[in-house]
Amino acid sequence: MRKPAGIERLYVDFDSFFASAEQHLQPRLRGRPVGVVPVASEHTGLIAVSREAKAAGVKRGTVVRDARRLCPGIVLVTARHERYVALHGEIIRAIETVLPVKAICSIDEMLCTLMPSEQADALALAQRVKAAIAREVGTTLTCSVGLGPNELLAKIAAEMEKPDGLVALHPKDLPGPLLSLALTDIPGIAKGNAARLTRAGIGDMAALWRTQPKELRRLWGSVEGERLWMGLHGYAVERPETQRRMFGHGRVLPTGWRHLSGAYACARVLLAKAASRMRRGGFSAKALALWLTDRDSAGWYGEERFLPTADDPSLLASLSRLFGHAERENPAHTRLRSVHVTLHDLVAAGEQAEDLFGFTAEAQIKRRQEYLSVLADRLNAHYRGPLLHWGPWAEIPGGYAGAKIAFNRIPDAEDF
């Protein structure tokens, strides 16, 4: 395992991105406390909070009514995911006037690699990245930049002096700057893992640093514990490239939709969005899974398997059959909370075996349906809406069905 002697990674992490994005897009909001909500409701939680609102005690996840109590002047804005994705593209282009972006870690986090000739000027390059963003995008969107020998330490550095920070963790200085951090300040250590470490006698960063890698692997129950140890100790840890395993979407059901027919209408839209993404990726699926959850966190799960399929009519017919099973097994379903659909057991287009019976009438119909599904995808993307679809199309309150930004997924323009 290689252990870099210098700084090889630069990590960009934006501050309160959705809230700062709204302040950037709406100058009237600058300097004011702002909270971003997924839907216009007094019962939802904030998904982003500006630094002005944070100063009043409002946090991400705070319920709207509590946010108003803590910060009476807070301005609530409904999230506009397509605007944030467009802004993300501007940011990438600005960063790449200074350094190539090696990896996009999330909508507001990017990783760059420093060449050997650039490592001595790492701090100056970081300042140039921040200046390029301010010049090309705007000064309202501030970011914190971290420098380190690997991605983990660079990410930790970016979190150490938020907002608008710049921190370098040099291998020769380790573990000094890390010892003042809490265990949960380390990416990959959530509250559950921190509690497990504490029970094992590892209650702070000094104890974690002394722990042997095999012990962390045992405590994690996987190689991730050992990878964490290697990353903290400054080794170059390259993760194997992950392969696409599924396409799916889920949704908390709006009020008035929390019954089987509402879940079905919502699931049809989610499945159509997932199937469109799957076709753009060049895959077919051999299985469709459906989850229905209720307010008590219980639920119903069903799955249907089939030959590799990518067309909407066939997939929607499968979904209909699954809902039929759900209704027969529990006709009431009056306390539903959320619905999730997943297309999995994927087959890439070039890996599908030729069907010996590919010239049957049924196979010909399926090919035509796949062609029409792709045609519908193109028209819907061009006109930015569900121009063509099979069967009824429900307008789900809050919008953005299948097109919300997730931690590990940035929607394509075609998703909106």
**Residues carrying an active site annotation:** 109
Cα angle 401-407-413, degrees, rounded to a multiple of 5: 45
Cα angle 308-310-314, degrees, rounded to a multiple of 5: 90
Which strand (E) or helix (H) includes residue 231? Answer: helix 223-232
Smallest Cα–Cα separation from 19: which of 63, 66, 59? 59
Which strand (E) or helix (H) includes residue 105? Answer: strand 101-106
Give the contacts of 138 (CB within 8 A, at least 6 positions apart).
Answer: 24
As a residue count, the chain comes to 416
Q: How far apart are CA 85 and CA 115, in angstroms?
A: 29
* Contact present, 44 and 28 (Cβ < 8 Å): no
Q: How would you label 275-304 residue by residue, b for 16+ Cβ within 10 Å and e otherwise?
A: bbbbbbeebbbebbbbbbbbeeeebbebee
